[in-house]
Amino acid sequence: MSGTRTIELKRVVVTGIGIISAIGFGKKAFLESLLAGRSGVKTIARFDVTEYPVKIAAEVTGFDPADFIDKKAARRMDRYAQYGAAAAAQALEDSGYPVQEDPYAVGALIGSGVGGLDTHYEQIGILYEKGPTRLSPFFIPMMIPNMASAMSSVLLGLKGPVSATCTACAASTHALGDAFEIIRRGDATAMFAGGAEAAVNQIGMGAFAAMRALSTRNDEPERASRPFDIERDGFVMGEGGGVLVLEELGHALNRGAHIYAEIVGYGMTGDAFHLTEPDETGEPAARAISRALADAEVDPSEVDYINAHGTSTPLGDAMETRAIKLALGDRATKVMVSSSKSIFGHCLGAAGALEAAATILSMEVGKVPPTINLEKPDPECDLDYVPNVARDAQVKIAVSNSFGFGGHNSAIVIRKFED
């Protein structure tokens, strides 16, 4: 038929990883803490928490944006965008990708759940204290949630597809999946994809605490995030940035790039259910997983490991367990499942990218990261959650799940690379 576009789907691999997190900067420190089950959750040091009902978070400390990106540019970026751009700069260095070879062939897709919350909080204070004429001219460009992606493109010279996702806690898994599709259909050779978030501040902690979404285990910070445990009482706020370089396989092979893994499938659905609560049946989330597996042409019996969304909330963990059972059937009880959020907190829009990085790095070294603090398993959560200690295991097929407020469900399938 005239005008029909025939698309030969490309294979997409991961050739670079950049990480800013509460448990380390860069892949080496991050992986060491992850496999050791070393929690990044502590009493918040960034501001006075005396009057706050929640006093703990997985806070990024010791971060200087000038260590990663241009100092002048960093002053005009919110902290979340600094995390994203720093992770992108790390990923570029790790991948050695030749951006200047063809800058229009490489783009950026870095998501965020809430965007520039520091800037928003500070500028609203200025508005009330000093009036509208004292607002910063950089308020809007520092606040909007596309700026981690946009500034990464500016700083790295990426002139291909540049976009951003803003789907709450599913944002960076959607970013990875959308970037995968862009390369697969031939609209880019490589994409810097992931997420960034910086909500550990006065308004972020106060607002999430008001929702009763957060753990109040203030006296035991490192034991507060406990996915799938019967005594879980809410998630622990995390923050940071995670960016992967996704690259067309042929291009990666031609330049001799190190290939970490291959992205082979992507699925997403919507709950159409509630403002913040998940559909308790798990069916919409299960369909996202099933669509990702079908897209990858992977049978459920082939799945070895799932990096769970695993937030440590009563409703969420039970729902995800049901979803995994629905999607995998008999295989569900044989698959290893773990929650990285038990270690570095719930990084909202950055969560999926950090968890994909955790999955890929652990696959490469033949270990599965643990779910820490799983001491009293919830009878409703009865899968193999790799409790407390990392496990030696060769994982060939893994799934990484993310679910966001509003009913955003997403999953990607990752395969151990074999040419």
CA distance 147 to 285: 29
> Which residues is 16 bridged to in the sheet?
245
Q: Which residues are catalytic?
A: 169, 309, 346
Token pair recorded at residue 278:
């998940």
Nearest to 385 by CA among 326, 293, 320: 320
* Count of CB atoms situated within 10 Å of the CB of 5: 6
Output the CA torsion 376→377→379→385 (10° steps).
-170
